Each structure stands twice: as C-alpha cells, then as structure tokens.
Amino acid sequence: MSRLEIAARPRPAGDETSPARERFLPFSEPLLGEEEIEAAANCLRSGWLTSGPCVLEFEKDFAEYIGCAYAVAVNSCTAALHLALASVRCPRSSTATRRP
C-alpha cells in the first residue's frame, strides 16, 4: 500500500493515528509537463545537481527575462535574503525588521 493510499484511508472516530481524510489533500498540485520532466532528467543525467551548466543557463535566461545583467540562483529564501542584504552592504550589526 502506498503512502497516498494509507493517507486516504478513512479513520474511525476517536482514532487519532489514522488519517482524517478519505482522499489525499496535497499542499499544491505540481504543474509539470513533459518538457519540465525532460529538462530535470537531462540535468540529473549530466551529473550536476548544483552549480552546473543547467544552473548557469537558468541564471542567464532569468536575468534576460527580468531585464537585468545578472541573476544568481540560490537554494533557499534565507540564502536569497542574506545575499540581498550583502549586496547592499548591510553591516552585520544592523537589525532587519519585517511586518507580520
């Protein structure tokens, strides 16, 4: 039985260990077609998972798409925020505030 089938099983009243839904409820459905699947497979086949030619091509294409000279791909939003603060030479002693 797959994880999805297990997650979709009905749960008896009072049984907190079984799933509450009869049908799996994903956070978001992936919107991937054959072109995206093939591109991911080609990247995996290349032997480069990070910082390889696919990433360089993505950075170049993205920079062109948004109309700037350069773009840098990072692995997380935290890394992106750190890079953004470093790019404006924000001192380490600074305090960043955000709205909830």
Question: Whole-angstrom Cα distance, residue 33 to residue 40?
Answer: 11
pLDDT digits (tens, 9 = 90+) for 67-88: 999 999 999 999 998 898 888 8
Predicted confidence at residue 96, as pLDDT, reads: 74
- The CA distances from residue 10 to 1, 21, 23, 28, 29, in Å, are 14, 6, 9, 22, 22
pLDDT tens, position by position, 11-66? 566 666 666 677 777 788 888 999 999 998 998 898 887 888 889 999 999 999 99
Note the pLDDT of residue 7: 59
